[in-house]
Amino acid sequence: MSALDIDITLNTGAKIPAVGFGTVCFDEFKSQFKDALKAALLEGHYRHIDTAWYYGTEALIGEVLQELFESGKLKREDIFVTTKVWPSFWKDPLKSLEKSLHDLRLDYVDLFLQHWPLAFEGDENGLPAVPKDAEGNVKFAKGADYLSTWKKMILIYKNTTKTRAIGVSNYTPKMLTRLLKETDVVPATNQVELHPHLPQVELVKFCKEHKIVVEAFSPLGGNGAPNLKIPLVQQLAKKYNVPAVDIIVNYHAQAGRVVLPRSQNVERIKKGFSEVKLTEKELAELDQFGIDHPKRFINDVWGNDLGFEHWGQ
Ligand code: NDP
């Protein structure tokens, strides 16, 4: 069985495929994006797409999905689609979701996430996505509470058919504690940066206790995939005779976490991932590597005051 066939059960009872296709795409790769996504869905056997309004790829995803649905190569129920509301849309997550659904050419998503526990100033179309003042500082919406967005997402979840589950992203245990105390829906997932350089052991434990599935973003460390060069990852790849990327994917999937690798390289995408049965000791060693050598790759300036562990390291 391929690691791509592993499903994880959300607190809604729905299943989420453990491996999702990351859809951040820089402008220079946009012309290749549709081919990469088609390869992922048809040959890499991905059944899960992780996107967001902010990535600017939803319209391209919508074109591919429509083509594959119309040609009968794929059915809507075959795939799990996640999108996210960006902080500049904090006042109106429904509008953000409707915009995403329009671009994705879908009636519903399987999961709708609050992208960051933040609120930015922005017009009714969420623009500019990252507003800045003359000195280049991010303009946060004054007096805004990130939980107000979550509360509006609960209403969307309860009163519409536009999303089958809701969750959060970039929440710390402290923020989750507040959310659980003040609202009545437990997020289905918390999507955070997570990999052998940043195992976030406490956060993972907290989420497990509260039945919140953890989704690992930037699993390879982002551009250039630095995590594939970690000596322990290389050593395990050699031992199991698989590419290093398979070790990282299995590190998450085996622990019941979703993992969201990104690639625009069709040859890599087509290969998919093999299942590797890492031992408990090896999983613990991978965690220990990050405890000893913490490194966070995504240090976007708007996250400066959120109290993330190892921020800027
Ligand atoms: P990743 O950590 O997945 O790394 C992507 C890089 O790894 C690319 O340079 C890619 O190059 C390279 N790569 C992929 N596979 C291989 C391989 N087999 N061998 C060598 N290099 C490889 O990147 P992201 O930071 O984009 O994270 C993945 C996804 O997580 C995003 O696309 C997004 O969906 C989500 N995310 C969510 C965030 C949030 O705030 N919720 C924040 C950041 C990301 P190539 O294309 O050439 O293969």
The tens-digit pLDDT sequence of the chain (313 residues) is: 344 589 999 999 999 999 999 999 999 889 999 999 999 999 978 999 999 999 999 999 999 999 999 999 999 999 999 999 999 999 999 999 999 999 999 999 999 999 999 999 989 999 999 999 999 999 999 999 999 999 999 999 999 999 999 999 999 999 999 999 999 999 999 999 999 999 999 999 999 999 999 999 999 999 999 999 999 999 999 999 999 999 999 999 999 999 999 999 999 999 999 999 999 999 999 999 999 999 999 999 999 989 898 888 7
Compute how many other C-beta atoms are within 10 angstroms of the C-beta atom of residue 254. Answer: 19
Determine whether the shortest distance from the Cβ of 22 to ligand 1 is under 6 A: yes
Q: By the 8 A CB rule, do 292 and 52 touch? A: no
Q: What is the pTM of this model?
A: 0.97
Q: How far is the CA of 52 from the centre of ligand 1 (A)?
A: 14
Structure-token match 């805004």, residue found: 144
State ipTM: 0.99
Summarize the chain as % helix, strand, coil (round to 5).
Answer: 40, 15, 40
CATH superfamily to which 7-292 belongs: NADP-dependent oxidoreductase domain (3.20.20.100)
- Ligand 1: which of 51, 263, 267 to mutate, most ligand atoms within 8 Å of CB? 263
- Ligand 1: which of 55, 197, 220 to mutate, most ligand atoms within 8 Å of CB? 220
3-state secondary structure 230-268: CHHHHHHHHHHCCCHHHHHHHHHHCCCCEECCCCCCHHH
Q: How far is the CA of 249 from the centre of ligand 1 (A)?
A: 12
Determine whether the shortest distance from the Cβ of 230 to ligand 1 is under 6 A: no
Atom of ligand 1 nearest to the CA of 243: 18
Q: How far is the CA of 220 from the centre of ligand 1 (A)?
A: 6
The residue whose CA has the least distance to atom 10 of ligand 1 is 263
d(CA 37, CA 60): 9
CA 213 to centroid of chain Cα atoms? 11
Compute how many other C-beta atoms are within 10 angstroms of the C-beta atom of residue 291. Answer: 10
Determine whether the shortest distance from the Cβ of 298 to ligand 1 is under 6 A: yes
Q: Where are the domains of the chain?
A: 7-292
**Residues noted as catalytic:** 55
Q: How far is the CA of 297 from the centre of ligand 1 (A)?
A: 11
